[in-house]
A = this chain, B = another copy of it.
Amino acid sequence: MTGTRGQRQVEAYRDDIPQRIPVHQQVYEDLRTRILFGELAPGQPVTIQGLVETLGAGMTPVREAIRRLTSEGALEFQGNRRVSVPTPDADCIEELIFARQALEPELALRATKKASAEDIDALEEIDTALDVAIARGDVGAYLHLNYAFHSKLYAIAEAPILTAIVDRLWLRFGPSLRVVCGRMGTQNLPDKHKETLTALRAKDGRAAAIAIRDDVVQGMEQVREVLEANTLSSEMIDT
């Protein structure tokens, strides 16, 4: 048996063999990150050839990345063969709030059961950096660290299917978060991360679930408000 799932037997040289990440994977991750953190604004069109030129990649890998992201709701078909970053409406936000509220407390609950002391330390470190970013008004850092906090919590919970679902939800409201910060700044952003950490240390799953639910609901309500203000103003422009 030549080692069914085994790791190659040659590698004697170094261990810095970069694991050969496929181009389509790189393109996917690059695009995903840009969408998640609002570098591509809602409504912005995304063309295959544009990415081929921008990224210097071939057409097939770009195509695969776009299909994947479309399937995840990060991009959407715009009628005939065009794709763009979607602009969520009020109904979408409604669904997102419900789904996050239904699933993320469970992830917090599971994380409470599995979290090691190191895990919680890592979370606290992220949250500390997050406070610094808020104080400095660094929107980019805030968005990255806020996602990092929740993402780490999902990882601790060890629930791959639920995590996959929730991760895809982030792709849908992520672009709007930057818009929210553009309107409201980083000062008045409420979060329940401190409460979450306290609950995790106390191994109080119920409290962690409630803290995360509050965090989610508060954040999404802000998205809803800003989105309503935006549609209102664009309606006034349209007419």
Residues of A near any B CB (own CB < 8 A):
5, 24, 60, 63-64, 67-68, 71-73, 79, 91-92, 95-96, 98-99, 102-103, 106, 159-162, 164-165, 168-169, 172
Cα A95 to Cα B107 with chains together (Å): 10
Q: Which of B64, B72, B73, B92 contacts A64 (CB 8 A)?
A: B64
Chain B residue nearest to A158 in the complex (CB): B91
CB-CB nearest in chain B for A65 = B67
Number of copies: 2
Smallest CB separation, A171 vs chain B (Å): 11
14 extra interchain contacts, Cβ-Cβ under 8 A, other than A68-B71, A99-B161? A5-B79, A24-B67, A64-B67, A67-B68, A71-B71, A73-B161, A91-B159, A92-B161, A95-B162, A99-B103, A102-B102, A102-B106, A161-B172, A165-B165
Note all chain B residues with C-beta closer than 8 A to A102: 102-103, 106
On whether the beta carbons of B73 and A164 are closer than 8 Å, the reply is yes
Closest 6 CB pairs of A and B: A102-B102, A95-B161, A68-B71, A64-B67, A71-B71, A67-B68
Listed A/B pairs (30) with beta-carbon separation below 8 Å: A5-B79, A24-B67, A60-B63, A63-B64, A64-B64, A64-B67, A67-B67, A68-B68, A68-B71, A71-B71, A73-B161, A91-B159, A92-B161, A95-B159, A95-B160, A95-B161, A96-B161, A98-B106, A98-B162, A99-B103, A99-B161, A99-B162, A99-B165, A102-B102, A102-B103, A102-B106, A161-B169, A161-B172, A165-B165, A165-B168
- When C-beta atoms are compared, the residue in chain B nearest to A96 turns out to be B161
Could you tell me the distance in whole angstroms from the C-beta of A174 to the nearest C-beta in chain B? 14
Q: Using Cβ atoms and an 8 Å threshold, which residues of chain B touch A72? A: 71
Cβ distance A85 to chain B, nearest Cβ, rounded Å:
16
Closest-by-CB residue of B relative to A164 is: B73
Partner of A60, one of B60, B99, B169: B60
Please, which residues of chain B bring their CB within 8 A of the CB of A63? Answer: 60, 64
